[in-house]
Structure 1
Amino acid sequence: MASIKISVERLTEGLYIKLPLQWADHPFLRNHFKIKDQQQIRLIQKLGIQFVYLLPEKSDNNPLAPETTADKISEQEEKFLDKQAEKLWQEKQGRIERLRNYKRKIQRCEKNFDRSMSQLRSIMGKIKSRPLNAITEADFLVESMVDTLMESDNVALHLMNDKKDSEDIYFHSLNVAVLSMLLGKSHGMSAAEIKVIALGALFHDMGKLKIPTAILRKTTPLSAPEINYLKLHPKYSFDLASLADNFPKAAMPILLQHHEMLDGSGYPKQLKADDIDLYAQLVSVINAYDNLCHPTDKSQARIPYSALSYLFKNKKAQYNGDFLALLVRMMGVYPPGSVVQLSNQQLGLVVSVNSDRLLYPNVLIYDPSVPPNEAPILDLEESELKIERAIPPNKLPEKVHIYLNPRVRISYYFDPND
């Protein structure tokens, strides 16, 4: 969007301007904004700058005539403006501190995520040779996750950094477990029920360890024999879990039935409606969502917003409608990982949602005047802005894509939002 350089004497209300300063060198919350009153104009003039950049397309007014001169600031007004500037600086410092606290929470969440991934790799590695040990370790992992989930009424769901593209089964299994636990909690299930669901979700795809990698990673259409082979993985998961006497019986149907559909079109037994275990129905919704976001053919991947919309609009006959609706409410209209355009036309990446403020996610803002590692994270509840639409990452200009770094893999973890 083209900008025009104008002197600060020409400023008036309704102009959308960008300051020629670094974010830390002025008291305003953003480098660019629409001027709302004379006080803002006076504060800009006191910054010691000679000009600003005007964005005409986003302005509601025209600048004053070029020959305009600013009125001299009286001593009384000078004191008043100094107090207002100090107030703005305090508000800005408060925002900076909240951002620091948020980033500390993200770091804590990422440590928990990495720890869980490491434990899951160990568990999967032992499932054939030492199944009792594997289930015991999984039990400890799930117990700690359930405790974290249940200890707070308000849980924040965060977008995690993806590390290795070769560990699809681990990321998928942990993703499905995390989201299934959250959905179980949103449904009002007890900690004991959520633990069963989490164990089933963690192990629902372990039967794929027995499927040839060439089939699992094939991006062209599978042949009929390959499809039949892949459809054996629920039985393989069940067989592996049966090696351990300590795997909870209530979780077994999740392993066998997470691909069954309410209309009977699923597999392996074409079960219908109430014949499908309720826990399996819950996990199957999450499994479908994550598979839409991460198909084998990455060119077919849907953004989270699109995946939720597709399931809700087109798959109610196949998946539990209550769980689908609850998933949309739980994730928010724009889940973490969604690239969005805000009402001021800025672009951003949704990085977290809070369970009690779904309409106001935290958005990482594209601001080329700020280094990417210091990019502002905007809490929409504290802003007058709102999300206008979701944008496919491949539609972003290259420089914006590099800055926001939208994830190829959408991984989640949760953290109590104290």
Structure 2
Amino acid sequence: MKEKTLDKHQLRIGLFVMLDLPWMSHPFLTNSFKIRNQRQLRILRQLDIDQVRVDLDRSDIFSEDELGETVTLEATETSEADEDPGSTLWAEKNERIRRLKQRRSRLNQCAKCYMQKVSLARKLMSHLRSAPAQAAEEAHELVDGMVGELIEDAETTVQLVNLKHQDENSYHHAINVSALALVLGRKLGLDEVQLRLLGQGALFHDLGHLKIPTQILMKKGPLTEPERRFYEQHPRYGAEIARQIGTLPVGVIEIIAKHHEHLDGSGYPGGLRANDIGLLTRILTVVNRYDNLCNGFGGERALSPHQAVSRMYSKERQCYDPKVLTTFITNLGVYPPGTVVRLNDARIAVVISINADDLLKPNVLVYSEEIPAEEALVLDLTEEGIGIRESLHRSELTEKQIEYLNLSDKLSYYFQGARGDLGR
């Protein structure tokens, strides 16, 4: 960064300024921004500060002589309402703060609903051995609740659930996959009966893990060939357990048995091809693979959501139903929730949810040293007129940025409608 300090009367349109002031002592939304108009210049000159730091790398190009000149403000016609441009900007900032609080409240509501579902999943899984019929009934109720939430609002989208500390990852994985599968299933036009089958299949898809030794399931490095062959039987084991429960529908058992099969025959355990794999299973296969890539699977390094989608489309798309994969990617966006990005103005942010009207400009939570983390900006990039320069991996961030953005080692997803009426 090429930095220079100027007298506030030398500031001009096109300079990128960095205000050394508390965030609430000025009416601008951030402490760092490019001056875009005369109104901003007027307000900057009214601030209780004599000198301002500017970042020349993010400013328009000016000569040293230009930067040394005192700038005369243009005379403009002002209406009575515009006589105090600062008061107008303060009103705008306070309105933005109000909207930001609403957005954060909805994110917290979504996280609360997600954790309720994880708790229910943990409870029903604990009943699988001692009371399998009861576990199946609890799963039916859990999925019914999720389907009910989903169909209440036509504009439901996938949301990132920011959870700093996670444990019991199998339950998080089950709810992640269930939520993603239900959203995708609805986008593909499934009716409520099909959605319930899909949801139960998603919840129980890894039932066969009960018969896989912990040292294989939790192994950090790559599996040996015998370990891999053993692990690849878990869909078959899961289907056997599901049949023994006695109350799970045939459609659910089929999802459990085939969720690692691929359309090109490269899957396991049966090496089945397209004609042997139903639509519900095809949906589950896509979302399960995505969540595994994002959260690390079988010793693999976790990918960013952007990297996961890119890998599935560029290197693996022969494995999946084209319509299912395309619909999934379209509804997750170019930068899926959980993707860490660098904005065009160099700020770091994490994508919270997509914007259906512009997949290149999602809603993001922005890292900012001058704004307290509990008041972090949650911006709609279409409103801000800001684009994304690049996606980043979590490993490229500092610990301070990771803490501020509340990023976990694992990603969690749920869904939320435009009204945000969750948490039954």
Q: TM-score range by the shorter chain?
A: over 0.9
The answer to which of 245-254 and 172-181 deviates more is 245-254
Native 8 Å contact 2:344 2:386 kept in 1: yes
**Deviation, structure 1 residue 202:** 0.3
Are 1:57 and 2:60 matched, yes or no?
A: no
Native 8 Å contact 2:163 2:407 kept in 1: no
Letter in 2 for 1:19: L
Distance 1:162 1:12, change over 3 A: closer
Native 8 Å contact 2:232 2:268 kept in 1: yes
CA distance in 2, matches of 1:105, 1:67: 48
Output the aligned Cα RMSD: 2.2
The answer to which of 201-210 and 374-383 deviates more is 374-383
Which residue of structure 1 aligns with residue 3 of structure 2? 3
CA distance in 2, matches of 1:290, 1:390: 18
**Deviation, structure 1 residue 71:** 6.6
**Deviation, structure 1 residue 54:** 0.8
Q: Which runs of 5+ in 1 are unaligned?
A: none
Deviations 1:388-410 (A, max 9, x none): 21011112244433433432101
Which residue of structure 2 aligns with residue 34 of structure 1? 34
Letter in 1 for 2:234: H
SS in 1 for 2:318: coil
Alignment of 1:327-406 (within 5 A): 327-355=328-356, 358-406=359-407
Native 8 Å contact 1:128 1:240 kept in 2: no
Alignment of 1:310-329 (within 5 A): 310-329=311-330
CA distance in 2, matches of 1:40, 1:230: 62
Which residue of structure 1 aligns with residue 70 of structure 2? 68
CA distance in 1, matches of 2:378, 2:192: 33
The answer to which of 257-266 and 27-36 deviates more is 27-36
Deviations 1:363-387 (A, max 9, x none): 1111111122222111112111011
Which residue of structure 2 aligns with residue 291 of structure 1? 292
Which residue of structure 2 aligns with residue 196 of structure 1? 197
CA distance in 2, matches of 1:298, 1:331: 25
Native 8 Å contact 1:205 1:233 kept in 2: yes
Which residue of structure 1 aligns with residue 227 of structure 2? 226
SS in 1 for 2:413: strand
SS in 2 for 1:268: coil
**Deviation, structure 1 residue 158:** 1.9
CA distance in 2, matches of 1:299, 1:2: 40
CA distance in 2, matches of 1:163, 1:46: 41
Which residue of structure 2 aligns with residue 22 of structure 1? 22
TM-score, normalised by the number of residues in structure 1? 0.93
CA distance in 2, matches of 1:216, 1:28: 51
Q: Give the count of matched residue pairs.
A: 417
**Deviation, structure 1 residue 164:** 5.6
SS in 2 for 1:300: coil
Which residue of structure 2 aligns with residue 110 of structure 1? 111
Native 8 Å contact 2:162 2:407 kept in 1: no
**Deviation, structure 1 residue 235:** 1.7
Alignment of 1:178-327 (within 5 A): 178-296=179-297, 300-327=301-328
SS in 2 for 1:113: helix
Distance 1:213 1:163, change over 3 A: farther
The answer to which of 346-355 and 294-303 deviates more is 294-303
The answer to which of 356-365 and 273-282 deviates more is 356-365
Native 8 Å contact 1:339 1:406 kept in 2: no
For CA contacts below 8 A with separation 6 or more, give which structure has more relative contact order.
2
